Amino acid sequence: MEALRQELQDLRAAALEQIEQSVDAAQLERARVQFLGRKARLTAILRQLVTLSPQDRRAIGLLANQVKQAIEECIAARRAALESIPSDEVLATDRIDVTLPGRRPTMGRLHPLTQIIREICQIFAEMGFAVIEGPEVEWDYYNFEALNIPEDHPAREMWDTFWIDPASAQADRPMLLRTHTSPMQIRIMEQTRPPIRIVVPGKCYRYEAVDASHESQFHQIEGLAVDEAITFADLKGTLYAFVRRLFGKDRKIRFRCDYFPFVEPGVDMSIDCFRCKGAGCRLCKESGWLEILGAGMVHPNVLTRVGYDPARYSGFAFGLGPARVAMLKYGIDDIRLFHGNDLRFLQQFP
């Protein structure tokens, strides 16, 4: 009993001293929790009263309640004193120097793919092309049929397609995640009469294995120009100007025949390898050239499908992958780095 009595007296002295030394409301609250909280020693002593004899319980209980009351009164008095301190005195005793400069916030930055997409679109915008976007969930008609790729056409094997569950789509109008941005060619030509000059950036989806050069979700930029008397020379001149703006004036450019169902003739365009200067290396697979896009003259069947007279109108189209362009421009050897969210990689692109 004497030990408890002494402990209560020591507890009272320590509590009153710490409360008086509290310089702000936060310190006062911490003192209150320490001496009157659920885990405080005073609370534990009050819970032990049931284990004492009736005579000791009365004596220790009375003393414990007196200690508790003294602490509560001291807290109330100190709280009132702190609230009455003038603001200039509070600032004088504040441990934080508010005149010090703050921490500079970390600035965000655009993703490298966003940067290259904006740069490409800006180049074409300066040539007079409008930048538009289209739906990522597309009808089979716009993704294939209207682009000269009927249902039984073997060219459909070129696109590994994500089809939408038929139960959630109209049976007579199959729906899919678009495999390229080319469907916007049809949508724009259906709504607009020539002249047309557009570029279409956006996401595309293909069901294929992910590796260093392939992603199941990727970006693409489509280009289309339709007007009277557009020739292949217009296509070459436009793409020459684009590549030299993006990669530098010294770039050499090569066109080769290629096949795309919605253009005729079709070509792929390559630039000389910036690493080996055309001599041949691992990056260009010893060819000296790096392919960057596919293009061609709009197929007459596509023009007829949207009500254009192929005898009067002609046009060219092209498509490129911004990720591949960025890989070539910055010497990146793995496309998966763009979506890996590794700050060590992303911080290289201010």
d(CA 15, CA 36): 10
Catalytic, 263? Answer yes
User: Which of 180, 197, 219, 299 is flagged as catalytic?
Assistant: 180
d(CA 28, CA 82): 9
Torsion angle defined by CA atoms of residues 229, 235, 240 and 246, in that order, rounded to the nearest 10 degrees? 120
User: Which of 64, 67, 263, 302 is flagged as catalytic?
Assistant: 263
Structure tokens at 150: 């009927």
User: Which of 15, 31, 243, 317 is flagged as catalytic?
Assistant: 317
User: Which of 12, 187, 206, 324 is flagged as catalytic?
Assistant: 206
d(CA 236, CA 234): 5
d(CA 338, CA 331): 13
User: Which of 31, 32, 64, 159 is flagged as catalytic?
Assistant: 159
- In sequence order, what are the beta bridge partners of 250? none
Catalytic, 220? Answer yes
CA quadruple 348, 346, 290, 256: dihedral sign: negative
CA quadruple 209, 210, 215, 217: dihedral sign: positive
Catalytic, 163? Answer no
Catalytic, 14? Answer no
CA quadruple 178, 184, 185, 191: dihedral sign: positive
Structure tokens at 2: 């004497």
Structure tokens at 343: 């700050």
User: Which of 32, 220, 226, 326 is flagged as catalytic?
Assistant: 220
Q: Tell me the catalytic residues.
A: 159, 180, 206, 220, 263, 317
